[in-house]
A and B are shown apart, each in its own frame.
Chain A
Amino acid sequence: MMKTTTESMLLVGESGVGKTHYGAQLLKRLLNSGGQFRMNGAATNLEPFEATMECLNDGRSAAHTPTSTYVDSEWPIVGPGGHTFTLVWPDYGGEQVKTFLNSRRVPSAWRRRVTTTSAWVLMLRLHQLRVSDDLLSKPLASLADGEADDTTSDKLLQLSDQARMIELLQILLYLRGDGVGETTNLPQLCLLLSCWDELGENEPPAIMLMRQLPLLSEFIASNWSHPIILGLSALERPLDKTVPDEEYITRGPEQFGYIVLPDGKATPDLTFPLTVLLESPEE
């Protein structure tokens, strides 16, 4: 297994999936050496996470990352077995993703990121995504026992949630210069189903994905031979923007958050997704 010394991952997610929160929590774990991976020296720039870490220390959730931001911070990391590398962790406002889905134009900087990264991490907040009922699944005759629609997701391009995610992955594949369906030499794909605590489920993440977004699940299975699907709860519980969480203040945010492994078991090691970077790319 040949590994270069710089591993960068492309972190993709729409706004509100918790990219910055996870970044800040991951950083805390790396600094406190709580997991398989730890920080090996000092990161170049912690500015993007400064405010978020501050908020978490006070037991509050952080504000939204501005759209125009795109900051790469480089973290020197040592992994299990003394393997050292530099992780490039991006922080940006999720609207950028929305913008290029809408305008069908992608800034060339994104192409560079897509082509140079060895792993893609797609963050999805399953709780906000769903498949609508239709005439077949819920015929007109059963209208009487209809349930109220409880989501208020804004429809982008009026694409359904899973179609939007598929289109996003197709765009990334196109930018990479490979066609959809060419499963050779694709970067490893890791799906992080964020805000797992909202779901209140104990099923393995892949099952949850298949149940909630079957089309996306099939698309990923068709195009990646070994995708990694994990659940992520970066904060472990919902935090308020203004009202501080007492336990967070006392115990520290590094005591919170977990990853749900493919078998459905949870681990407090938030650095686990980094192992996807160390796995050899798809054969």
Chain B
Amino acid sequence: MKCPHENCFAPDTTCALGNLFFKDCARWNGVEKPDAEISRSDDEIVLPWSGSALGRSDIAFVTGRRSPTTIGVFGPENAGKTSLLAAWYLLIGRGATLSDRYKFAGSFTLPGWEAVARTMQWMPGAPPEFPAHTSTRGSREQGLLHLAFCEDRSRLRDYLFADAPGLWFQRWAINEEAPDARGARWIVKNADAFILTADCAALSGPDRGSARAALQLLARRLGANRRGRPVALVWTKSDIQVTPAMQAAVRDAVRSQIPNCEEFAISMQARPGDTAGVGMGLTDLLRHTLQIRRLTQALPPSGAKTHDPLFLFGTRS
């Protein structure tokens, strides 16, 4: 049983029309419900966020207060996209990450983050490992993970991180209109910045040729679609050595498409002798990512001599 409103998922979440109690909603009252449901939900307030990764309909709740910065993490399968997000969450959770500029201010996807990070934590009886494969199945477009930071102790900023399966991007790189790449297209359309992951393990492994080709294809597609939005090229698992020739081939391919992209090398393995327990390059990349601002429209210079906004435009000087 579900509310007939197309964007409303009552009784799982709050009423999409803003009623605090379901009984006040005309649409909800129009559906026939089992008696148990009526008595249960009339005196309870349902929270608008479930805590899991946000779906397309759920983001309205987060975007309502201000426009979030959306970061799309791109890369082929098994490149360490989810691990990157999980590592960030763990670092933030230990307070080990940021400068005084950014302070954690909340998240509506805490269980979602925890689900991603769980496998990397030490739990009694089970050693940590890297997050399992992000599934392509499931009806949700993609999971968006939310974080809010307080910048300079005054301004609040919302961030959404898209955690999508690598297969989507591989399909999208090959065929922009591929039916199973809808999620990738959504991210490309809506993201404010991109992280392109280059998997050092794959680029030095037995299938390095096809890994390089796939990455070049993806860079080309991303370059054609990014519309000036910033891209960071991130070498994941960078504790594994990639030959300089291979590195150059990837770098040149990416740079030819995305000339101003920034480069980062990250690894969960800290450099030898580094005991801070923050891996390698992870905090730099996070700091860089938090500083990304949405491209804004700039008004053309008016050329007018007056300060009266009514006469700013349209005057001939």
Contact = CB atoms under 8 A, between A and B. Distances in A.
Interface in A102-139: 104-108, 111, 131-139
Contacts of A132: 121-123
A71 to B, nearest CB: 19
Contact of A179 (B65, B114, B150, B269): B65
A6 interface: no
Contacts of A219: 104-106
A228 interface: no
Nearest to A150: B124
Interface string B183-223: 00000000000000000000000000000000000000000
B104 A222 contact: yes
Contacts of B128: 134-135, 140
B277 A136 contact: yes
A133 B96 CA distance: 12
Interface string B144-174: 0000111001001000000000000000000
A136 B90 contact: yes
Interface in B248-300: 268-270, 277-279, 282
B150 A136 contact: no
A106 B45 contact: yes
B226 interface: no
A247 interface: no
B108 interface: yes
A210 B95 contact: yes
Interface stretch (B25-33, B46-54, B306-314): B46-54
Given A138-B122, A170-B108, A222 B150 contact: yes
B103 A218 contact: yes
Contacts of A104: 46-47, 50-51
8 contacts: A111-B20, A136-B268, A138-B277, A139-B270, A157-B51, A174-B48, A181-B156, A219-B105
The 3 closest A-B pairs by CB, nearest first: A214-B95, A222-B105, A222-B150
Interface of A: 104-108, 111, 131-140, 143, 146, 149, 157-160, 162-163, 166-167, 170-171, 174-175, 179-181, 210, 214-215, 217-219, 221-223
